[in-house]
Chains A and B, each alone.
Chain A
Amino acid sequence: MTTAPVAEAPAVPMTAKRRGAQLVMLAFAIVVVMGAYASVGLGINGQIPSGTFTYGLGLAALMFAAYGVLAKWAPWADPLLLPLVTLVNGLGLVIIYRIEQTGQGGASATNQLMWTALGVVMFSATLIVLKDHRALQRLTYTMGFIGLGLLIMPLLPLVGREINGARIWIGVGPFTIQPAEFSKLALVIFFAGYLVAKRDVLALAGRRLLFIDLPRARDLGPVLVTWGLSLGVLILQKDLGSSLLVFGTFIVMLYVATQRTSWVLIGILLFIGGAVLAGQLFDHVQARFEVWLHPEDPEFYERELGGSFQLLQGLFAFGSGGILGTGLGEGFPNLIPLSFSDFIMAVVGEELGLTGLMALLMVYALIVQRGLRTALAARDPFSKLLAGGLSFILAWQVFIIVGGVTRLIPLTGLVTPFMSAGGSALLANWILIALLVRMSDAARRPPPQAIQNEGLTQVFTR
């Protein structure tokens, strides 16, 4: 086809690398974070914390190192992803530092900074090692097993740990790891590879019901397996959040791959069925619903287990924050149990107010949007599905936890990506971003130029 005068038009207009813009935005994100850090100190005792400069420089050094890796190994990558993630991760650090100042156990900004550094290492390693993400397609089933294994691990004796009523942890020496966070990555890779291979079959229409083409009964297998898996997580680990996260992501990826709306409807029906079933069988699921409907009811508020105390204290924080917030360092995050983890958004709501929440949600939305853009621009189905799946799982996780904390939906525990204290989630999410960066690099890299003037073709001979 070398005779074609013009190469096929690329799906997305040619893009510049925009490295300079990325650097400026990265610096801006770090300045915002340093300002927030200083503001916490001013709010607490009227002094700028002594660590502002060194801390800021430390974060800047980390992020510029990440930038360096990105510029060398993924030069065409999306320029917005790294600055946006830096901003959210940095603000998360600041909020955890702020909560640590109140003496709430479990909040440690130093640990979180260490995990951030490790996260950046994982980010860099992923970019350096994984030169072409399509290599992952060959690991589809391996990833499936790894994902499943990680999900099951907390249930194993010896390594499994139960903390706060959920058996989702494993102990490794002094550390506890939440393997579900890594599992979700492996599962999305598996789903993408599997669905690309099977999508033609799964898209085959079976019977027609009303105006919807139902899939063939025998193709229901994968959906039912995933559904069963999610229910298993829910029942055995009491982890409502991860269960919903994995199932929802699978359904959306199935829809994207097969273009069949019927899968979404089947998924919703299965979800409702599962939820009703779980609600009937398990008190803790039912308790979540009651609390969601009537958080202000004194009966639920005072209930020791599965009561609304935490949710309502979180809502009080949002209420007290109002539109502008109390200002960093001037709220009372210690009133909310686990404010450094699941309820970190309530602290943001109190101290930065509606304004801060809107800005932060916008940053998350932008990260997701950059990921989905990568999916649209990607050139092969596996990349499209993987980028789409990873972006969606990020959005879905933000929706589940922030929606839960703000009482939009019943509360199911999940970490807030890049903000909540916790190493596993940070590492996993930095890898997720690395994968998106890798794919955006591939998608935005100009395709090899067709040689236009054959007269200039030179043939080397030895």
Chain B
Amino acid sequence: MNGTLKRAAVACMVMFGLLMINVNYLGAVKAGDYSTDNRNTRSFYKRYSVDRGWITADNGKTTLAKTVDTKDAEFRYEREYPNGRMYAHVLGFFAPESARGVELNENKFLDGSDPDLVVGRLIDFVSKKPPKGASVDLTLIPAAQKVAYDKLRASGKRGAVVALNPKTGAIQVMVSLPTYDPNELAIPDRGDVAAAYNKLAEDDTDPLLNRVTEKTYPPGSTFKVVTAAAFLEADRSRDPETTVPAPQVLDLPDTTAGLPNYGGAACGSGEVTLRFALERSCNTPFGQMGMDLGWDTMREESAKFGIGEPIQFDLPTAGTTIGPEEETAALAQLSIGQRNNQQTPLQMAQVASAIANSGVLMKPNLINKITDPGGSVIEELKPEQLTEALSGEVADELKQMMVSVITNGTGTGAQIPGVTVAGKTGTAEAGDAPAPHAWFIGFAPAEDPQTAICVFIEAGSAGNDATGGGTAAPLARDVMQAVLDSK
């Protein structure tokens, strides 16, 4: 009987062999498919098994996003945003199946999966501790952020405020309204989150949209500083006192329509200095300048400010453009920030920032530093120069003219006692919307700029009489004041 017993033993061996081959196939080959199948809720739970790093501002002194240990087996770590609405568009959210904002962009640090954090993760794994992520500190200034958020909200208007340090590109304020509560999207219930998200997504006022970076609008008269920059750069014999033609209505070639000044008003005596044209934000001189400079020059000058492609940033940014090449009349219109000229508030803040920083454009930055769970810094803000948008001389001349705008021109609403403010207002007709967009770009103090700002009030939300000078400039003043006070 031993012969057949041995064969039965071989059969047993084969059975165990097959089982072993099969578990290897499962555990090594098919594992990837199975662990990523969306019916496998483990990947969903896994998101909550990490002691996710916190998001802070002000060198860790203000907590923007924190992780709470619920001791629950399935959803152990939950995310909370103590001041969610104020920071929603910067932080984004950490939802069961998706993420947005800094939560998405810095995810590999926050959840500890970055290669820089591998040693700590290995120690956690061996000691059976839950994995812990690195904390991310933002460059935002909470006090100024609060001012921007409160003032914009109090005005009842939709819009955006962004301020940054022109020397480093560090973002100081980033507010977009209307906003939402990211806490509602961070609860570990896919059904509830989907319902909350859909409600936000279907809202006509688009609360999920970060108006600072994700959408473009016609910049209106704020764009005149770019036109002025091109005008000065094109011929260095020109200066703010150079006279330019300023008719009441500019004749546009190949069309019966003309380009009027704002409200059809006259601009001086028909021949004004560049400084005066900018102070009063006359349309006709800048329309003429644009047509004289031509498509190529306008495009080149814009590109030096970063216009023409999305800004490299820590959050998604929309691409900007001065519009496609069309008939010459279009050139006049885009030179005053109309027609197909489309800019994001962040891009216009960049324009102000480059002028403030003697012509040097810095890369905007949101991350101050990233600190591993042990407390050592693994990444830190390194100011990075993007382009030289202007010569220092032209930047200086533009700065003087923008100071005049605040002292004598349309931007008096932005004056801060004891501080020299430079700026430019804008009131842009927005397609067929009944009301215009209101803009303000500027920086302060002019002698040694600490902050560059762009305030944008969306058309249709501010009543018919919204203007850059009346609506946007006072808001900018308060925010700049708050930034300067925090220093």
Residues of A within 8 A of B (CB): 39, 42-46, 101-102, 252, 255-257, 259, 296, 301, 312-313, 315-323, 327, 330-332, 335, 349, 353-354, 357-358, 361, 364-365, 368-369, 372, 375-376, 381, 384-385, 388, 391-392, 395-396, 398-399, 402-403, 406-408
Interface flags for B61-94 (1: CB within 8 Å of A; 0: not) read 0000000000101100000000000000000000
A313 to B41 Cα, complex, angstroms: 9
* Also in contact, A376 and B2, with CB within 8 A (given A255-B8, A319-B31): yes
Greatest chain A CB density within 10 A among B2, B32, B42, B43 is at B42
Q: Report, nearest first, the 7 A-B pairs whose CB atoms are least far apart.
A: A319-B34, A354-B27, A316-B40, A399-B15, A395-B12, A365-B16, A408-B22
Residue of A nearest to B23 (CB): A357
Which of A296, A322, A384 has a CB less than 8 Å from the CB of B5?
A384
Interface size, chain B (Cβ < 8 Å): 43
* Also in contact, A39 and B18, with CB within 8 A (given A255-B4, A319-B31): no
A388 and B5 contact, CB distance less than 8 A: yes
Residues of B within 8 A of A (CB): 1-9, 11-13, 15-16, 18-20, 22-24, 26-28, 30-35, 37, 39-43, 45, 49, 71, 73-74, 125, 128-129
| Residues on the B chain within 8 Å of A376, using CB | 2, 5-6, 9
A385 to B5 Cα, complex, angstroms: 8
Greatest chain A CB density within 10 A among B11, B22, B27, B43 is at B27
* Also in contact, A369 and B23, with CB within 8 A (given A332-B42, A332-B45): no
| Residues on the A chain within 8 Å of B16, using CB | 361, 364-365, 368, 395, 398-399
A43 and B128 contact, CB distance less than 8 A: yes
A396 to B39 Cα, complex, angstroms: 32
A128 to B273 Cα, complex, angstroms: 117
Residue of A nearest to B17 (CB): A365
Which of B5, B19, B37 has a CB less than 8 Å from the CB of A403?
B19
A99 to B126 Cα, complex, angstroms: 22
B26 and A392 contact, CB distance less than 8 A: no
Which of A39, A335, A407 has a CB less than 8 Å from the CB of B128?
A39
Which of B24, B37, B74 has a CB less than 8 Å from the CB of A316?
B37
A332 and B9 contact, CB distance less than 8 A: no
| Residues on the B chain within 8 Å of A349, using CB | 23, 26-27
A361 and B6 contact, CB distance less than 8 A: no
A407 to B73 Cα, complex, angstroms: 29
A419 to B36 Cα, complex, angstroms: 29
A252 to B8 Cα, complex, angstroms: 7
Interface Cβ pair total, 8 Å cutoff: 151
In the assembled complex, 7 residue pairs joining A and B whose CB atoms fall closer than 8 Å, in A order, are A316-B37, A318-B26, A318-B31, A318-B34, A320-B31, A372-B12, A398-B16
A322 and B1 contact, CB distance less than 8 A: no
* Also in contact, A301 and B74, with CB within 8 A (given A256-B8, A318-B31): no
Distance of B261 from chain A, by nearest CB (Å): 65
B128 and A316 contact, CB distance less than 8 A: no
| Residues on the B chain within 8 Å of A406, using CB | 19, 22-23, 26
B129 and A46 contact, CB distance less than 8 A: yes
| Residues on the A chain within 8 Å of B42, using CB | 316-317, 320, 331-332, 335
| Residues on the B chain within 8 Å of A315, using CB | 26, 30, 34
A259 and B8 contact, CB distance less than 8 A: no
B45 and A357 contact, CB distance less than 8 A: no
| Residues on the A chain within 8 Å of B73, using CB | 44, 101-102
A102 to B72 Cα, complex, angstroms: 10
